[in-house]
Amino acid sequence: MTDAETQQVAALFGGAIALGLCQPSITLPGDGALPIDRDGCYQITKGSAAAISVAAPGASGIGRRITITTTTDFAHVVTFTGTTLMDGTAGLNTTWTSTAVAGCSITFVGVSATRWAVVSFNLGTIAP
């Protein structure tokens, strides 16, 4: 199975399944900016609430697919700079906050140089 196929399956099933299928997986042990220079699967492992930021995709990020999965029981916050997250509701959003349980996930794809679109999310809240 290719990385792209693995990410598609992980996006369909979300949560704990995403941990096992989305390879390679990159650990996010603390706060900081999420690397968006390639497709990827990231695991938040911080032992307290993490604050992760995601920049706009940029021209090279169009089509980029990223999955984030939590592995600790904290309400982690992922902030998309400049209201760049589209989730199929009216308006653009800036944050995804996971519930305080391991196994929450969000998958998003770059649809333009300035916008990410949510493919799926498992638990948590998307908000402006």
What pLDDT is recorded for position 90? 80
pLDDT value at 17 more than 70: no
d(CA 70, CA 89): 24
Q: How far is CA 27 from CA 3, 38, 41, 47, in A?
A: 17, 15, 9, 13
pLDDT value at 53 more than 70: yes
pLDDT value at 48 more than 90: yes
CB-based contacts of 59, cutoff 8 Å, min separation 6? 113
Q: Could you tell me if 122 and 15 are in contact, meaning their C-beta atoms sit under 8 angstroms apart?
A: yes
pTM above 0.85, yes or no: no
In which band, very low, low, confident or very high, does the pLDDT at 19 lie, cut at 50, 70 and 90?
Answer: very low
Q: Which of 64, 105, 108 is nearest to 84 (CA)?
A: 108
pLDDT value at 29 more than 50: yes
